[in-house]
């Protein structure tokens, strides 16, 4: 017995831990593949005719299959519109970083707070009446389901033998008359567009305006300014009718908002800066122009990158359809224009001042993005690069003209 116990103990010590691990790994390698694969690892067999709901037992009818296909297409479009809307919402963080980075350190909290507050104020204003004024006349977006049960109403004016749309009048407070999945998706997408318009002036008038004035502005632009111009272009209003009524080509075409969003925001920003006046110390009594340095350029550049990322929701999302195959063209054109705008602005400033200017490089990128927003779905890649390059130059010339000639801060 003693000899047997000694032999067993010797055998135990002879089996090392690496040997045990090696044997275990070999067993797993041989047997695990046989039990780890599912029935459809590639997904090729997932989703077939058996997943289509049938009114009666057995295989679904052709009509039922068609209805399911239509439902799935609209579901894809709704999801695409919502996800890209979420991307555009994230642009608010980009605006906050850009505007805060370009301000003085003492005004950081005020500038950041305005960017935060304009989102919630604008949302409520657009909900109250902005959406109704903008899309109340034509809420039936085909790619989002058509909203067949929703009747729109447009306020019109009769001129030159035609009725021109001025404003919608259905859907105040998103009431029960527009309680529709497609309309709610459109509301979310257009609300974050409106927020972009409302945010642009916060940077132009940063460090100067009072809080109560800002609140009034936030409600006014979200309830009336953006919705009315948006109605004229996207809501079936008079600008969108020029092509059909007066045979002026396609009329006013703005695919994703160069005019509806960025021009409206830019005009509001310029007007506000003219009225409110420059920052203290910006212009000397002798007419000299003083540079007020930004407190955090890296923050501003990070914000610019966030905005460029959000633009993938802005432009491709304006298809309002995940099944629209132009999405890839739109996305690539958007990227190319932003890159050429940044490069041209950077090298132009280097040639002009013998210094690299990261702030102007960021402005060049944003200018390229703004310029390509309207034609992004209709132009070639070469045209996109050209559009971005021209806008990169224009933003610099416009800056120096407004700042040094017009003395508008």
Q: d(Cα 348, Cα 332) in Å, to the nearest integer?
A: 24
Phi and psi (nearest 5°) for 139?
Answer: -80, -5
- The band of 30, judged by pLDDT with boundaries at 50, 70 and 90, is low
Q: d(Cα 374, Cα 394) in Å, to the nearest integer?
A: 17
The reported pLDDT for the residue numbered 64 is 82
Asked which of 65-79, 149-163, 196-210 is least confident by mean pLDDT, the reply is: 149-163
Task: Mention every residue, 6+ apart, whose C-beta is less than 8 A from residue 137.
Answer: 152, 153, 154, 155, 165, 167, 168, 169, 170, 231, 235, 236, 237
- The band of 62, judged by pLDDT with boundaries at 50, 70 and 90, is confident
H/E stretch holding 306 = helix 297-314
Q: Is the confidence at residue 11, as pLDDT, over 50?
A: no
- List residues bridging with 164 in a β-sheet: 157
The residue-averaged pLDDT of 189-194 equals 97
pLDDT digits (tens, 9 = 90+) for 133-171: 999 988 888 899 887 778 788 898 888 878 888 999 989
Spatial contact of 262 and 57, defined as CB atoms under 8 Å apart: no
69-324 has CATH 1.10.3430.10 classification: yes
Virtual torsion, Cα 172, 174, 175, 178, nearest 10 deg: 110
Three-state SS for 168? Answer: strand
Q: Work out the mean pLDDT of the chain and round it to a whole number.
A: 88
Q: Is the confidence at residue 180, as pLDDT, over 80?
A: yes
pLDDT digits (tens, 9 = 90+) for 241-284: 888 888 888 888 999 999 999 999 999 999 999 999 998 888 98
Q: Is the confidence at residue 206, as pLDDT, over 50?
A: yes
What pTM does this model have? 0.87
Spatial contact of 379 and 244, defined as CB atoms under 8 Å apart: no
* Nearest residue to 169 via CA among 198, 203, 131: 131
Rg (CA), the chain: 29
The reported pLDDT for the residue numbered 209 is 86
Q: Which of 1-5, 11-15, 118-122, 177-181 has the highest mean pLDDT?
A: 118-122
Spatial contact of 393 and 344, defined as CB atoms under 8 Å apart: yes
The residue-averaged pLDDT of 322-333 equals 96
Structure tokens that stand for 272 in this block:
């506000």
Quick one: what percent of the chain has pLDDT higher than 70? 87
The reported pLDDT for the residue numbered 311 is 98
- The band of 130, judged by pLDDT with boundaries at 50, 70 and 90, is very high
Spatial contact of 384 and 370, defined as CB atoms under 8 Å apart: no
The residue-averaged pLDDT of 170-182 equals 92
The packing angle between helices 238-246 and 226-234, to 10°, is 20
H/E stretch holding 124 = helix 108-125
The reported pLDDT for the residue numbered 221 is 97
The reported pLDDT for the residue numbered 250 is 82
The packing angle between helices 181-204 and 264-276, to 10°, is 30
Spatial contact of 305 and 311, defined as CB atoms under 8 Å apart: no
Spatial contact of 295 and 97, defined as CB atoms under 8 Å apart: no
- The band of 291, judged by pLDDT with boundaries at 50, 70 and 90, is confident
What are the DSSP calls for 340-380, one per residue?
HHHHHHHHHHHHHHSS--HHHHHHHHHHHHHHHHTTTTTS-
Domain segments of the chain as ranges:
69-324, 325-409
- The band of 8, judged by pLDDT with boundaries at 50, 70 and 90, is very low
Q: Which of 85-99, 163-177, 234-248 has the highest mean pLDDT?
A: 85-99
Three-state SS for 46? Answer: coil
Higher pLDDT, 190 or 210: 190
Spatial contact of 359 and 294, defined as CB atoms under 8 Å apart: yes
Asked which of 41-55, 183-197, 316-330 is least confident by mean pLDDT, the reply is: 41-55
H/E stretch holding 167 = strand 162-168
* Nearest residue to 238 via CA among 183, 340, 167: 167
Distances in Å between the alpha carbon of 18 and those of 11, 13, 15? 15, 13, 9
Q: Is the confidence at residue 70, as pLDDT, over 60?
A: yes
Distances in Å between the alpha carbon of 115 and those of 90, 120, 196, 364? 12, 10, 10, 22
Q: Is the confidence at residue 362, as pLDDT, over 70?
A: yes
The reported pLDDT for the residue numbered 36 is 45
The reported pLDDT for the residue numbered 28 is 55
């Amino acid at each position: 017995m003693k000899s047997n116990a000694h032999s067993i103990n010797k055998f135990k010590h002879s089996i090392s831990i690496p040997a045990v691990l090696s044997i275990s790994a070999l067993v797993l390698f041989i047997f695990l593949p046989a039990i780890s694969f599912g029935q459809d690892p590639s997904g090729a067999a997932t989703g077939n005719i058996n997943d289509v709901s049938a009114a009666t037992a057995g295989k679904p009818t052709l009509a039922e299959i068609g209805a399911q296909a239509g439902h799935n297409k609209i579901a894809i479009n709704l999801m695409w519109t919502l996800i890209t809307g979420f991307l555009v919402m994230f642009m608010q963080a980009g605006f906050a970083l850009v505007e805060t980075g370009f301000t003085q350190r003492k005004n950081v909290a005020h500038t950041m707070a305005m960017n935060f507050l304009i989102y919630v104020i604008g949302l409520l204003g657009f909900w109250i009446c902005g959406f109704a004024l903008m899309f109340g006349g034509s809420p039936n977006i085909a790619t989002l389901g058509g909203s067949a049960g929703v009747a729109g109403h447009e306020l019109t004016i009769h001129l030159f033998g035609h009725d021109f749309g001025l404003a919608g009048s259905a859907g105040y407070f998103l009431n029960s008359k527009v309680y529709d999945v497609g309309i709610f998706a459109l509301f979310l997408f257009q609300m974050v567009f409106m927020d972009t318009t409302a945010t642009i002036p916060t940077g132009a008038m940063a460090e100067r305006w009072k809080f109560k004035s800002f609140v009034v502005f936030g409600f006014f632009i979200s309830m009336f300014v953006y919705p009315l111009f948006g109605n004229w272009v996207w809501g079936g209003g008079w600008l969108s009718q020029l092509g059909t009524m007066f045979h002026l080509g396609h009329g006013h075409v703005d695919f994703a908002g160069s005019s509806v969003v960025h021009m409206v925001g830019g005009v509001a920003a310029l007007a506000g800066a003219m009225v409110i006046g420059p920052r203290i110390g910006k212009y000397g009594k002798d007419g000299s122009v003083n540079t007020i340095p930004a407190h955090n350029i890296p923050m501003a550049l990070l914000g610019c990158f966030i905005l460029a990322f959000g633009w993938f929701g802005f432009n491709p999302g304006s298809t309002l359809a995940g099944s629209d195959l132009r999405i890839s063209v739109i996305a690539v054109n958007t990227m190319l224009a932003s890159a050429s705008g940044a490069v041209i602005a950077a090298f132009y400033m280097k040639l002009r001042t013998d210094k690299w200017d990261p702030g102007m490089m960021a402005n060049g990128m944003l200018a390229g993005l703004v310029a390509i927003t309207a034609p992004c779905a209709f132009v070639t890649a070469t045209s996109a690069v050209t559009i971005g390059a021209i806008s990169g130059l224009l933003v610099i010339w416009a800056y120096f003209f407004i700042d040094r000639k017009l003395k508008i801060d």
